Amino acid sequence: MAAPTPSTYSRNVGHGGFISWNAVWTDGNQLTDTVVLDLSALEYTSSLTIQRVAWMATAGITFTLEFDDDSSDEFILSSALAPTDQQDIDFTWNGLDGVVMTATGGTGDLLITTLSAADADEINLFVWYRVD
């Protein structure tokens, strides 16, 4: 069997937007560099700023979010094992801009890779972002 096909919902108004991303496993196949947000599909494509990430996951599964600009991967965050309640990181806390990734040539993606996924595991992601 294959890794799950995520369900997504997104809204983008001007330079700001969010994406809701959900995956449910039916086996133990992992996601590897799977696109959560495709920068080149958005109207403004020179940079992506991650402002906030919230997630919930079943116990035992972990994931890593990275930004890929076709030449290198830039780490954003990794989830911890065990917490099944909502986790939330606000990268704009205390007046910060967020995590800014500048893409080469207007391409790039926000990627997810999973570890330890098993049958019936689930990840829900909510990502707030800004594009320029």
Measure Cα distances from 16 to 58, 73, 95, 113 in Å.
29, 23, 17, 25
Domain count within the chain: 1
Instruction: Name the token pair of 71.
Output: 């030449």
- In sequence order, the 6+-apart residues with CB closer than 8 A to the CB of 3 are 23, 25, 29, 30, 31, 32, 34, 114, 117
Host domain of residue 102: 7-131
Give the C-alpha separation, 123 to 114, whole Å.
Answer: 10
Q: Among 43, 44, 25, 47, which residue's Cα sits nearest to residue 34? A: 25
Whether residue 1 lies inside any domain: the answer is no
Whether residue 51 lies inside any domain: the answer is yes
pLDDT by residue, tens only, the chain of 132 residues: 678 999 999 998 889 999 999 999 999 899 998 999 988 788 777 778 899 999 999 888 899 999 886 667 788 899 876 567 888 999 999 888 888 876 555 567 899 999 999 999 999 999 999 988
Question: What CATH number did the domain enclosing 19 receive?
Answer: 2.60.120
66-73-52 Cα angle (round to 5): 25
| Segment holding 55, helix H or strand E | strand 47-57
Q: Which residues of 58-68 are buried (b: 16+ CB within 10 A; e: fewer)?
A: eeebbbbbbbb
Whether residue 112 lies inside any domain: the answer is yes
Whether residue 79 lies inside any domain: the answer is yes
Whether residue 40 lies inside any domain: the answer is yes
Query: Model pTM?
Result: 0.88
Whether residue 2 lies inside any domain: the answer is no
Whether residue 31 lies inside any domain: the answer is yes
Measure Cα distances from 110 to 27, 54, 89 in Å.
24, 15, 16
